[in-house]
Structure 1
Amino acid sequence: MPLSTRREAHQGLRPVPRLRFRDGLGGTVAFKRDQLGFLGGGLRRHGDIYGFRTLGLPMVLVNHPDYIRHILVERADGYDKNAILFRIVRPVLREGLIAIGDNDVWWRQRRLMAPHFTPRAVTAFTGNMVDESAKMLGRWEHRGIGTVLDVTDEIGQLALRIVNRSLFSADVSAGAQSFERAFGAANEILGAFFRFPFPPLNVPIPRHLRLRRAIDDMDRFVNGFITERLHRPVDPDTTPDLLTLLMHSADEDDGRRMAVEQLHHEVLNLCIGAYETTTNALSWAFYLIAEHPEVERRLHAEVDEVLGGRLPSADDLPRLRYARMIVDETLRIYSPAYQSMRRAKVDDEVGGYFIPAGTNILINSYFLHRHRDFWDDPERFDPERFTPERIAARPKHAYLPFGAGQRVCIGKHFALAELVLAMTTVARRFRLVRPPGAPPVEPEALVTLHPRGGIHLRLEER
């Protein structure tokens, strides 16, 4: 049925306002040059929903909790992940849980994996988080007080060591560095491609050949562990790692296990997800703490009271309330997974606006988390926004660092535990302070939200 006829069938619905003067090449150039500036300008002109084009691809940005609840929760079955963003990252993530387009395939995978990512299941891996964080502090101490650390690089290595031990029961420092370099290259190339998706990724220009090499490096890293584990019997006297748990997970309906190729995709997704969210979120947290001495004092007071000089554990998480509030506020201001997309499978209505089937819906939490109807003085760093009372007073879907609805991030509980435990392990020993005269750090909008140039802080004793 032609679009005009379908629109007539939805009489009374408004058409989505569009940035018509930026259609075509103009929109593409502006989006490529400054993605956040371009999207923010559209919100200022049109409010919480508007359409635009980049390189001829139509998109609609939604920026209101009611619209997001409709798309991700109430009408989730009417939307899928066959949107442009996930088509772009699929060469890396393939059919892993993050980017699976088919909702039925996704649901089967989620059922297989979900039991291993509950808050209770995650406690089995919190020892790895604390132990690797403590080892990092030992390396820092050896380098000396007063050293200016590349915190983003340090946390990236920490995140990979934690995920490697949790997934593979392995210390693979050299391989982890290779994986980190490969993912960094892939993220930069895909971020640029999302802003200007041309020429297609299968065209062998130098940039796309570098992407292929980066993917091959990450594949080799993951394949080595899977191949080794397939030929090693399970030791009943050891606590199984995540790879072992996933290999032996069976569908509750038909008893089937994951195919080896699917297992590879899921393990790669877990490596990338765990590395990327922790690296950026914890780097931003230390930067924001360094910028706000009163927040740092309150964090130190809580750490001293709850831990009494010892290392934290999973049992301490419910009592480290202010540390968790710092994490939540950091994820509000600088969510690593700052954008997501859905594709409308059928014609729909969102907030009285007509959404044709096939529309790419863009959800950008960088702007949602700064929406002045729900966040007072939104650029101010204020962990007190996340007291139970203030959380209850806000719409639930005004805050979504891990997404929402049935496809909420499966690693949410792992990530939150890791962020709190790593942050408090550092806070009980050291301060990270900004060197005098250091310029402010700006966010860089790639596929994920990075601190441009990394975060560099000076190590000091408490």
Structure 2
Amino acid sequence: MAKTMLPGRATEVPTVGRADGIGGTLAFRRDQLGFLARGVRRHGDIFRFRLLGIPMILVNHPDHIRHVLVDNAMNYDKDAMLFRVVRPVLRTGLIAIADWDHWRRQRRLMAPHFTPRAVAGFARNMTDEIGAMLGRWERDHRPGDVLDITDEVGQLALRIVNRSLFSARVGDTAQGFERAFGEANDILGAFFRFPFPPLSVPTPRRRRLRRAIASMDDFVSGFITERLRRADADAEPDLLTLLLHSVDAEDGAGMALENLHHEVLNICIGAYETTTNALSWAFYLLARHPEVARRVRDEGDAVLGGRPADLADLPRLPYTRMVVDETLRIYSPAYMSMRHARAQDEIGGHRVPAGSNLLINSYLLHRHPDFWPDPDRFDPGRFTPDRVAARPKHAYVPFGSGARVCIGKHFALTELVLALATVNQRHRLVLPPGAPEVEPEPLITLHPRGGIHLAWEPR
């Protein structure tokens, strides 16, 4: 663990040596999570390494995370390597904006449409699409059939976000979006681990990335163009309509069309990608821990009595919510974030130079043994109210923290709890005989390598 330093006696951040492969570059490329875990064991909760000469500082203590994201947040913007890597896809969307003033304006325009009250208006989309997915399983499969759960919940997540954004039910076009995003995620994940050659160099990889971006852009622009063409005052109040009519309270203007396009694409990617991975991991963990799955079913039986879960049920499904929280602890889809230090700072008694790239890796933070006993064990009981209150808040940051906490947090949590409760009411998803353990694949988001495949059984 990091040593406690006396005030005014800041020291240099411990640094990974050249023996680890050009300051960590080669080891990071081979095994990103393993390299960082070894660094924490060797150097403590803050250490420096390099990716092809780019200095990176991992911070892995709740106090460090709070300092960067909350207490001194104005010193840390998103002009960091990770966001420079993903910016060709996300551009001026909320996820990757570096400029504070631009971010504040976009957030003011969008925040009213992502509050718990606003999300309640989209819960019906979630319950309808979850029910439709289960109906397809019952129609198209026999007991014992093995389903590609990652693909199934990916289609579910994209249907939900598209109904909520565009009042649209999508078919083959959604699969095209999934393929394009998967290609971009693979390319950018590999580039982040070994950032060479630059993405500006005209290589086959760059051409594949540009095609993937164009495909996602076409998907989004088609819906926006159609909505602008209709200009229907009686249109269903979906998110796109709300964003089109949003007005900034400070300057009285709305959102520029280019910014709208980028924000809609960010919403599509965020709501699809993170939900797909979170639900995949949740069903996998329940299949590996049938005693936990039984408690989820028992809670659902007591509360729902065989019907699908709806928004009003959420407060009465505390154990299901704890399963969601524990899943997000072990396998946070947005498992890494970064910040760029605008000026020199001090963290944990160590000097952080201006221009540093600070890496926050929740896969490691959520396994910190000082705050998570037996950290690799799946235990939803960690999220009882008393145990949550006893832990530092920033030991658990699946949605980030501070002003730039994920705007889609309430939407995601609502969808995850409704899906787990409803699926477990009607079905059992179990490990097929001889199924191997699924390993995490650290791309830009944390994937289950090879996807989750479970056998389906009706209850």
TM-score range, shorter chain: over 0.9
Letter matched to residue 254 of structure 1: D
Matched, 1:185 2:199: no
SS at match of 1:231: helix
Which residue of the partner structure matches residue 33 of structure 1?
30
Which residue of the partner structure matches residue 7 of structure 1?
none
State the identity as a percent.
71
Change (3 A) 1:22 1:249: farther
SS at match of 1:422: helix
Which of residues 118, 122, 136 is equivalent to 1:139? 136
| 2:80–2:339 Cα contact (<8 Å) kept | yes
Q: Distance in 1 between matches of 2:62 and 2:232?
A: 46
Which residue of the partner structure matches residue 123 of structure 2?
126
Matched, 1:108 2:105: yes
Which residue of the partner structure matches residue 286 of structure 2?
289
Which residue of the partner structure matches residue 343 of structure 1?
340
Matched, 1:332 2:329: yes
Which of residues 195, 198, 201 is equivalent to 2:199? 201
**Residue 461 of structure 1: how far off its partner (Å):** 1.8
Deviations 1:12-59 (Å, cap 9, x if unpaired)? 211100002347635211111110011111101011000001101000
Q: Distance in 2 between matches of 1:22 and 1:131?
A: 55
Deviations 1:267-321 (Å, cap 9, x if unpaired)? 0000000001110000000000011111011100000111111111111111111
**Residue 324 of structure 1: how far off its partner (Å):** 0.4
**Residue 62 of structure 1: how far off its partner (Å):** 0.3
Which stretches of structure 1, 4 residues or more, deviate above 6 A after TM superposition? Answer: none
Describe how 1:6-405 pairs up with structure 2 within 5 A: 12-22=9-19, 25=22, 27-142=24-139, 143-236=141-234, 239-405=236-402
Letter matched to residue 150 of structure 1: D
Which residue of the partner structure matches residue 6 of structure 1?
none
Q: Distance in 1 between matches of 2:247 and 2:232?
A: 16
Q: Distance in 1 between matches of 2:376 and 2:42?
A: 20
Deviations 1:60-101 (Å, cap 9, x if unpaired)? 000000011000000000110000000000000001000000
| 1:118–1:413 Cα contact (<8 Å) kept | yes
Deviations 1:298-355 (Å, cap 9, x if unpaired)? 1000001111111111111111111100000000000000000000001111111111
Q: Distance in 1 between matches of 2:422 and 2:238?
A: 23
Letter matched to residue 90 of structure 1: R
Which of residues 434, 443, 447 is equivalent to 2:440? 443
SS at match of 1:372: coil
Letter matched to residue 125 of structure 2: N
Letter matched to residue 101 of structure 1: A
Letter matched to residue 354 of structure 2: A
TM-score normalised by length of structure 1: 0.96
SS at match of 2:121: helix
Deviations 1:248-282 (Å, cap 9, x if unpaired)? 10000111100000000000000000001110000
Q: Distance in 1 between matches of 2:206 and 2:23?
A: 25
Which residue of the partner structure matches residue 5 of structure 1?
none
| 1:192–1:446 Cα contact (<8 Å) kept | yes
SS at match of 1:428: helix
Alignment size in residue pairs: 452
Q: Distance in 2 between matches of 1:130 and 1:423?
A: 11
Letter matched to residue 201 of structure 1: L
TM-score normalised by length of structure 2: 0.97
SS at match of 2:386: helix
**Residue 239 of structure 1: how far off its partner (Å):** 3.8
Of the structure 1 ranges 83-92 and 309-318, higher mean CA displacement relative to structure 2 is found in 309-318
| 2:332–2:398 Cα contact (<8 Å) kept | yes
SS at match of 1:89: helix
| 1:13–1:353 Cα contact (<8 Å) kept | yes
Q: What are the ranges of 5 or more consecutive residues in structure 2 without an aligned counterpart? A: 1-6
| 1:24–1:53 Cα contact (<8 Å) kept | no
Q: Distance in 2 between matches of 1:166 and 1:141?
A: 25
| 2:438–2:449 Cα contact (<8 Å) kept | yes
**Residue 436 of structure 1: how far off its partner (Å):** 0.8
SS at match of 2:249: coil
Q: Distance in 2 between matches of 1:22 and 1:100?
A: 36
Q: What are the ranges of 5 or more consecutive residues in structure 1 without an aligned counterpart? A: 1-9
